[in-house]
Every structure is written in C-alpha cells, then in structure tokens.
C-alpha cells in the first residue's frame, strides 16, 4: 500500500445573499502537494439553490463555478492565475471572498489516492 499523503480541501459554497449567511454546498477543491494533485468537483443543485434564493442568476453562478476546475488544471485557459504553481492556485481559490461563490475554511486529511478522497468528500459534503 502506498504511503498516505496529507491533503487540504475546501468546500465551495453558494451564498446568494451574503448578509443572510445562508449557503448551499456546490463543490470541493482538493490539493495534495506530495502527489502534485489539484482538482475540484463541482455539482450545483439548481432547484435547491432556487428554493433558497429564487432571484439568483443561475447562469452567472454556474459560470463562476465552471472556472474553478479550469484554475485547478492551470495553463493558458485559466489566464494569468493558471501560470501560478498548484499551491498558489489553491491558495488563490480558497482565499476568503465576500461574493456569491465562496469557500469554507481549509481542512486537512490523509489519503492514498487524492482523486478517491475528492470523490468521497464530494459525496459527503455536496451530493
């Protein structure tokens, strides 16, 4: 069995009205330095979001969410942020924001397979 690696993750949240502090989880970002892994799984439950905030612009929220895996992957498609290291991109993605798309505090864990850990966290926190 391979050595377990530490990882960090944050839950992506949709906060339609920042002042009310209500949110729904819409994804997970996971970074594992030892295995050079940075990825996100996103899954917006639109009907749940509309029940919480009927006035929300779903297209705008989805467009913002779609950028997260692109930034994780890096490269020119992610713009200037895509040229940063994985660690820098993770820190940029998980920096506190006062916008509709926010992230939880960063948490830590151990895994053998970061993709499996991401899948499990997504199932627990979002699906």
Q: What digits encode the pLDDT tens for the residues 72-126? A: 999 999 999 999 999 999 999 999 987 899 999 999 999 999 999 999 999 999 9
Q: How far apart (Å, rounded) are the C-alpha atoms in residues 120 and 10?
A: 13
Q: Where in the chain are the domains?
A: 5-125
Q: How far apart (Å, rounded) are the C-alpha atoms in residues 118 and 29?
A: 8
Inform me whether the pLDDT recorded for 1 exceeds 80. Answer: no
Q: What digits encode the pLDDT tens for the residues 22-31? A: 899 999 999 9
Residue 19 — very low, low, confident or very high, per pLDDT cuts 50/70/90?
Answer: confident
Do 107 and 122 touch, CB atoms closer than 8 A?
Answer: no
Residue 19 or 104, more confident: 104
């Amino acid at each position: 069995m391979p050595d377990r690696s530490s990882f960090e993750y944050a839950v992506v949240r949709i906060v339609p009205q920042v002042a009310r502090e209500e949110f729904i989880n819409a994804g997970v970002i996971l970074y594992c330095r030892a295995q050079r892994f940075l990825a996100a799984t996103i899954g917006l439950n639109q009907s749940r979001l509309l029940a919480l905030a009927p006035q929300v612009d779903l297209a705008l929220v989805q467009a913002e969410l779609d950028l997260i895996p692109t930034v994780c992957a890096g490269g020119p498609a992610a713009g200037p942020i895509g040229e940063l290291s994985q660690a820098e991109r993770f820190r940029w993605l998980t920096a506190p924001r006062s916008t509709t798309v926010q992230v939880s505090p960063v948490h830590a864990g151990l895994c053998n397979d970061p993709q499996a850990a991401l899948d499990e966290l997504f199932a627990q926190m979002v699906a």
